[in-house]
Every structure is written in structure tokens, then in C-alpha cells.
Amino acid sequence: MTAPFPHHYEARLEWRESYPAQTSAYPRPSILCGPPPQFGGEEGWWSPEHLLLSAANLCLMTTYFALAAKSQIKIERYRSVAKGVLDRGAEGFVFTGIELDVSISVAPADQARAEALIQSAKKYCIISNSLKPQVTVKARIGSDKAG
């Protein structure tokens, strides 16, 4: 059940003299973060760009799962890849597009209903709705089992 609105969230960031910084949201584990390699950072750090893509990716999944649960659709497997294009815009560097490539496996009898839910998940995804660039979702719904 959803808690009453508004919801409040907090994330902390600490940096001391050199990268990487640490970001945390208690009680979750901290993660090392800094600029991506394209801006002088290291490959192993979470960058703001990767965190943004991950947030959009995870939000679509959790929204889809909530809708699937309400529709009594059992998800067998969910995989997705988020890709973003960062470019120069009138306002400086901006993401000009984000694409979520989703592959969902459900029972053969649920495929049509599961397919319809992906558009609803996109519509209700909080992170996607909060971003300037349109988030594109490509989805493949199938089954690992013969129908």
C-alpha cells in the first residue's frame, strides 16, 4: 500500500580532498561516486550519468512490477539496459535522449496483458516523468516456456 503523499527522500554525499566521493541514503550501503571517465573520473565509480540511467531503469521496473501484481501477472524474468546520449545543448551539457531496452518473460497466457502494461508503466514512472528528455522504452515480452 502506498504511504500518504507527499513522500520525502534524502541522500547524502561526502567528499574529502580527492575523488571518489561517497553517496548514501541510510540504511542503504554507501557507493563510491565521481565524474565519469569522459570528465576525468575513473571507470569504477558511479557517475551522476550512470545513476540517472539506473534510476530511470529501476523506476520503470518497479512501476511495471506494481502494475503486474495488480493485474495478477507473474513475471518470470525482467532484464533491461538503459542507454543515454549526453550532448551540448543551449543550456550546456544535457541528456538528449534516454532509451530503456526491456525484455520481460511471462507465461504465454499473460503475454498480451503484459505487453499492454509496459505503456502504463512508462506513463506512471516517476523518474521518467521528472526528466526533461523523453524517455523511450523498447520492450519485448515473451516466455521462456512453450505455450
pLDDT grade for 147, boundaries at 50, 70 and 90: low
Domain extents for the chain?
8-46, 48-142
Local structure of residue 46 (DSSP, 8 states): B
Tell me which residue of 136, 130, 133, 132 sits closest to 102, measured CA to CA.
136
- Rg of the chain over all Cα atoms, to the nearest angstrom: 18
83 backbone dihedrals φ, ψ, rounded to 5°: -130, 140
98-130 pLDDT per residue, tens? 999 999 999 999 999 999 999 999 999 999 999
So what's the pLDDT on residue 132? 84
For residue range 71-107, what is the model confidence (pLDDT) as tens digits?
999 999 999 999 999 999 898 999 999 999 999 999 9
Contact 24, 11 (CB under 8 A): yes
What does the CA dihedral 136, 140, 141, 146 come to, rounded to 10 degrees?
A: 180
| CATH code for the structural domain at 48-142 | 3.30.300.20
